[in-house]
Amino acid sequence: MGKAKENAGDLIHRAQTALQQRHHQEARAFFFQTLEIDPDHADAHYGLATVAFHQGDVLAAVYHFRAAIRREPGRAGAYVNLGALYNHLGRDDDALAILRKGIQLDPSRAEGFYNLGLVLRKLDRVDDAAAAYMEAVRIQPGLGEAHFNLANLYLDAESFPEAIAQYREALKARSSWPAARQGLAIAEAALREQDGVVALTPPAAVDATRLVDPIAHHQLLTQINRAVADSDALAKSLGSDVTQQFEAALKELGQCFLRSDTPGYILVKRLELFESAAARVKQTHQELEGLSRQVAKWGEELKTI
C-alpha cells in the first residue's frame, strides 16, 4: 500500500509539471496512470478535467470534475469550474446550484462570482447578476470580462455614466476589445443626448434621412452589437463542439465497442457522453439560427431609418 501511494504521488507530480508546461497529452497520460493505481484519486481527476478543458472536451471535463468532487466534497475550485461548464452546456439550474456551493466553500474566488453572474443574466435576474459581477471585480479589480458584462447591464438599464465607467475598466484590462469600445461609444453618445448636448450636423455627403444615429438609435445598436457578439461566441462553440467534443465522444464510444473487455459501466458512461455531445451540438445550432434570424430582423428595421 505504501509503495502504491508513493508511485501515485510521483505520477501526480510529473503530471502537474507537464500540465504547467502545457504538455497536455503527457499530463493526461500520467493522470490516467495514477487512476490505474487509485481510481478515485481526486488530484488525478481534477488534473484530467483541466486537461480536457484545455483541449475543448467539455463533457470529459464535466465527468472528471464531478469525480474529483465525489472524492473531495470540499474542493471549491472543482465546483466553480464545474458550474462554468454546466453553464456552457445550458444546464442553468445545475450551474446555479454548483456555483453557489463553490462560493460557499471559498467566497474569495472572483471567478465564482463572475460565472454566477453569467448564469443569473441568462435567467433574466439582472439585479442579482449585477451584484455578482460587482463582487467579482471587488475581489479582482482587473477582471475585464466582469467589468464588460456589468457595463452591458448598465447600458441596458440606461445608466450611462456607470456603463461608461465599467467599459473603461474593461478596456484597461484589454485595450483592443472591439465590443467594449463600441459599447463605450454607444454609452457616451447616449449620455450626451441625455445631458442635452446637440449632435453635430452630419456632412453634406451623408444622406441624413438614412443616417443611423448612435444617440437616437442606441438601443437598437446595442441589441445588434450584443447579438453579433453572442453569434460569434456560439459559432466558435459550435465549431469546438463538432470538432472536439462530438468527435472525441464518438471516437471513445467506438473504441469501447471494439474492445471485448470494456466494463459495462464504462460503456454506459461513454454512451451518456456521446448523447450529451450530440444534444449540445443541436442546441448550439438552434441558438445560432435564432440569433441569426433576430439580427436579420433588426437589419430590416435599420433599412427603415
Per-residue exposure over 253-279, b if at least 16 CB sit within 10 Å of its own CB, e if not = beebeeeeeeeeeeeeebeebbebbee
Give the DSSP letter string of 45-114. HHHHHHHHHHTT-HHHHHHHHHHHHHH-TT-HHHHHHHHHHHHHTT-HHHHHHHHHHHHHH-TT-HHHHH
**What is d(CA 61, CA 82) in angstroms, rounded to the nearest whole number?**
8
Q: Which of 72, 67, 129 is nearest to 269 (CA)?
A: 67
- Residue 80's Cβ-count burial label (10 Å; 0-12, 13-18, 19+) is buried
Q: Which of 157, 145, 225 is nearest to 185 (CA)?
A: 225
Q: For the full predicted model, state whether its pTM sits above 0.75.
A: no
Per-residue pLDDT of the chain (305 residues; tens, 9 = 90+): 444 445 888 999 999 999 999 998 999 999 999 998 998 999 999 999 999 988 888 888 999 999 999 999 999 999 999 999 999 888 999 999 999 999 999 999 999 999 999 999 999 999 999 999 999 999 999 999 999 999 999 999 989 999 999 999 999 999 889 889 999 999 998 888 877 654 444 444 444 444 445 544 556 556 666 665 555 555 555 455 554 555 565 566 566 555 555 555 555 666 666 666 666 667 666 776 776 777 677 666 656 65
